[in-house]
Chain A
């Protein structure tokens, strides 16, 4: 069965320091992975997807199939990056195409001034 593991419940770094939020997965087949973010008092929203290989708000994530990882990185943290971050993976396609998502437990990122 598919599974997403985020080993860190809480990650605290100083402003300007590099950030790496860890995500490991188990999935049979070719995985699609995403990062969602929830800022304080806001809704859960998509941050980035691995297939687009783009940088959003300075964050990047590379899919490493050998290590089954999809870590989220940013070279210089900013205070506005403080939020809950969730790594997500689709459920296996039921055939109807309406895949829900499996989420990790989330990592609370705190950027200290």
Chain B
């Protein structure tokens, strides 16, 4: 049981390049989230998904797209990377139900640098 995994762990992009971050979970969780954490800041929600085939915007969605084609995977895409997107990206998942609202399982993070 690997929990939540993220690929890649590190990446350096040039401005304007595109990339996709992959999040996978093997806990059969319904809900999945993408957060970003900038230096000295708390985590901020980018997008989330309540189930396969559904996605919704979080607090800071601009410049990102997401897809949830399979229940276990949640992809975060950057179509045209900008230096302001330099950050550490965390994926999280949790089971269905309001009682699990606080119990998010986090991945190890992806450190992205945009030059």
Contacts and interface: CB of A to CB of B under 8 A. Distances in A.
B42 A43 contact: no
Interface stretch (A13-21, A56-64, A66-74, A98-106): A98-106
Interface size band for A: 20 to 34
Contacts of A100: 33, 35, 45, 48, 58-59
Given A91-B58, A98-B56, A105-B41, 14 more contacts: A43-B109, A44-B43, A46-B104, A49-B102, A88-B102, A90-B101, A91-B45, A94-B56, A98-B30, A98-B48, A99-B101, A100-B45, A103-B35, A103-B43
Given A100-B45, A101-B43, A90 B58 contact: no
Interface size band for B: 20 to 34
Contacts of B96: 97
Interface string B66-108: 0000000000000000000000001000001110011110111
B45 A101 contact: yes
B49 A102 contact: no
A21 to B, nearest CB: 14
Contacts of B107: 43
A44 B42 CA distance: 12
